[in-house]
Amino acid sequence: MAVRQSDAADAGRALKQQQRAMWALGDYHRFAKDTVWEVGPVVVAACGIGPGQRVLDVAAGTGNVAIRAAEAGADVTAADLTPENFAAGRQEAAQAGVELAWVEADAEALPFADGEFDVVTSSFGVMFAPDQPAAAGQLLRVCRPGGTIGVASFTPEGLGGTFFELVGRHLPPPPQDFRPPTLWGSEQHVRQLFGDRVSSLEAARREYVERAPTPEAYAELFAETFGPLVALRAGLEPAGVAALDRDLHDFAARENTGPTGGRAEYRYEYLLVVARTR
């Protein structure tokens, strides 16, 4: 049994290293600014973040929510598994005229005390933690009783789900216990994750729009800047890369809802959850 536990621990550490390396590839800050950046203020407003509050943003990336929370006057900690992205976050924060703490941290094992924060958030971040119950438990643990948890996640039925299905076609079969990240975009699933550890939970489907000069430019943005896609391309044979690029360009052309002859537009649905801890 001890050997099995050791093997499992080694496998877990290796997985975390792979995830960290994957999200460090490309140019995550450029990607985030061109895609999900407008959702940060939505999360801050929904959670009622303001002066004097202690806020933790989990899987913070380069500060989509964290910087906006600091602008609202909160005392903010941005936690992420990939510290390679912190330099861009610090630069963005400096340009916004705010300061916050940047801490390397695994969403499944946060290095913070129980009840340390008034508000705990995550925008398209914690959804990528492989062990979803563990990650949900950590959000709850570090949030004080009566505090607020706010999470934004792509829905399975929306364009995010379509994109991840596209990427999945070019990956090896997932392990048997794999849970798609977009399950965090299902209200029923999030209610199951949080269970009776919250006193209330409100969930609303929202939409935001990603834009690019052309569908081709949109596909190239993902191929050049989105770490998981950069890692996937690097691991494929030339024929596999060509097939992936075809699917990506087809996706960009097919899902474009922008005006004819104008900028390309892509409408992404997400679930915004705001819960109160017991």
Give the pLDDT mean for 177-204. 97
CATH superfamily name and code, 2-277: Vaccinia Virus protein VP39 (3.40.50.150)
Give the pLDDT mean for 230-240. 97
Q: Quote the pLDDT of residue 7.
A: 61
Q: Quote the pLDDT of residue 278.
A: 97
Give the pLDDT mean for 61-78. 98
Give the pLDDT mean for 252-261. 95
Q: In the chain, what are the domain boundaries?
A: 2-277
pLDDT digits (tens, 9 = 90+) for 259-275: 988 999 999 999 999 99
Q: How many Cβ atoms from other residues are within 10 Å of residue 78's Cβ?
A: 30
Dist. CA 51–CA 149, nearest whole Å: 17
Give the pLDDT mean for 130-138. 97
Surface-to-core class of residue 1, CB atoms within 10 Å of its CB (0-12 exposed, 13-18 middle, 19+ buried):
exposed
Q: Which of 167, 102, 128 is nearest to 18 (CA)?
A: 128
Amino acid at 106: D
- At 10, is the pLDDT very low, low, confident or very high (cuts 50, 70, 90)? low
